[in-house]
Amino acid sequence: MSRMSTKPKVVIVGGGFGGIAAAQGLKNAPVDVLVLDKTNHHVFQPLLYQVATAALAPTEITYPIRSILRKQKNATVWMTEVTGVDVAAKTVATADGKAIPYDYLILACGARHSYFGRDDWEPLAPGLKTLGDALEMRRRFLVAFEEAEMCDDPALQQAWLTFVIVGGGPTGCELAGVLPELAKKALRPDFRRVDLTKTRILLIENSPCILNTFPGVLAQRAQEDLKRLGVEVKNGVKVTDIRPDGVSLSSGEEVAARTVFWAAGNKAAPVGGSLGVATDRAGRVIVGRDLSIPGHSEVFVIGDMAQATLRDSNGEPISEKLVPGVAQGAVQGGACAARNVIRRVNHHPTEAFKYHNLGDLAVLGRGAAIASLPGLKLKGYPAWLFWLFIHVLKLIGYRNRLNVLLEWAYAFFTYQRGARLITRRR
């Protein structure tokens, strides 16, 4: 942003779905836009699990933030980590000691995984929110087979071949569904001393059913598909302890497993706590009808950081239902926040954020998926093909779309994975 500019300064924190949508929504506005992110790239999070399971390379689901906003003349991008906000002084604090002033602020910092008070489990059971998380998950998954190949103790070998996934939401189900095929098809011919058909995948879900945000008939079909693919689904069971050598379950079962992945909960980025306004148990900022915070109409919070109420076409709240923490919610929230900034600049009343559910998708494995769309429910191959089409379409960059399409075609016909790199052992 030019030091000589007299235009209102809009600072956007976060280069994810919400932050990018907000920046693009201000493209033709009479404002200067500054986008802050601790990395230099946007990550297409719905395909992170494909990096974690060696199906795609990291470069195929990422795109430089500067390149996305290259043609937007009023937008500037800085790579820096935001540590807090001083709403009284209207400044954003960064890790390198800067205090960046703003006239309007849009926070879209996202969320991290929550261990529900057991943060000591994080080193033992990594979650999947960032590119770094995906690469660590890939490393642990591939190293497990290397350890099993060299192991002479049958019990220890089986522990290396046992994978526990905690959480039966979309991320947990996507991971669980792809792991059996990867182990028993892609990797099996490459190992000599270990029988990868003995690979065991357990999906642990505390609720009575996995994917409980989907209609019951689709969730039930998803559970059947996972079992068909070779996943052991345990509903109504809670993980009570995680150790380097295994996990304990509320059912009393002890599972010997050397690899545990976490997909059970989220908590908002801690920046929201510096605003001095109310937050919920997950750390999400409780926002108003226009996504601004109480007492500071110039500050907007969107995406996974916000607790926003679902509203009808008239802007009235719908019971106690909240906007779900999914990509389409962040994109729509970013666009709404941008429109409301423009309205405030022009001294017009702001609009209420009205979330429109365009549909929910979950892929479970080869030819297995479910889709809940407005007026339509799909399952099996039709849902799977629809999932493929939508995700390729939504990727940023023609190069990424082509590469992903080719990688998926190659994997479909050969069962092979092209990103099986272990860059460090521990």
Strand order from edge to edge, sheet including 91-94: 82-86, 91-94, 99-101
pLDDT tens string 340-398: 999 999 999 999 999 999 999 999 998 999 999 999 999 999 999 999 999 999 999 88
Q: How far apart are CA 214 and CA 240, in angstroms?
A: 26
Give the span between the Cα atoms of 109 and 102, in whole angstroms: 17
Residue range 221-230: average pLDDT?
A: 95
Residue 23 reports pLDDT greater than 90: yes
DSSP for residue 112: E
Nearest CA to 177 out of 144, 214, 210, 133 is that of 210
- Asked whether the predicted pLDDT for residue 1 surpasses 80, the reply is no
Residues sharing a CB contact under 8 Å with residue 360, sequence separation 6 or more, in sequence order: 213, 214, 326, 371, 372
Please give the mean pLDDT across all residues of the chain: 93
Query: Mean pLDDT across the stretch 32-48?
Result: 96
How confident is the model over 167-220, as pLDDT tens digits? 999 999 999 999 999 999 889 999 999 999 999 999 999 999 999 889 999 999
> Under 8 Å CB-to-CB from 59, ≥6 apart: which residues?
400
What was the pLDDT predicted at 3?
A: 58
Contact (Cβ atoms closer than 8 angstroms) between residue 408 and residue 401: no
Active site residue 174: yes
Q: Which one of the listed residues 60, 147, 174, 407 is annotated catalytic?
A: 174
The 8 Å CB, 24+ separation contacts for 279-284 are 279/307, 280/307, 282/111, 282/114, 282/307
Query: Percent of the chain, pLDDT > 70?
Result: 98
The answer as to CATH 3.40.50.620 being correct for domain 9-113+267-345 is: no
Q: What residues does CATH 3.50.50.100 cover in the chain?
A: 119-264
At residue 200, φ and ψ (nearest 5 deg) are -120, 125
Distance CA 100, CA 86 (A): 10
Q: What is the CATH number of domain 119-264?
A: 3.50.50.100
CA dist list (Å): 265 to 172, 268, 299, 325, 409: 11, 10, 26, 11, 32
Question: Does 327 have pLDDT greater than 70?
Answer: yes
H/E run at residue 316: none
Rounded to an integer, the average pLDDT of 301-307 is 96
Positive or negative: CA dihedral 112, 117, 122, 127: negative
Where in the chain do CATH 3.50.50.60 domains reside?
Answer: 9-113+267-345
Q: Is 64 exposed, middle or buried (0-12, 13-18, 19+ CB in 10 A)?
A: middle
3-state secondary structure (DSSP) of residue 182 = helix
Q: Which long-range contacts (CB under 8 A, 24 or more apart) does 317-326 make?
A: 323/353, 323/355, 324/213, 324/357, 325/111, 325/266, 326/360
Report pLDDT digits (tens) over 252-261: 999 999 999 9
Percent of all residues in the chain with a pLDDT value above 90, rounded to a whole number: 86
End-to-end CA distance of the chain: 43
Element (H, E) at 363: strand 360-365
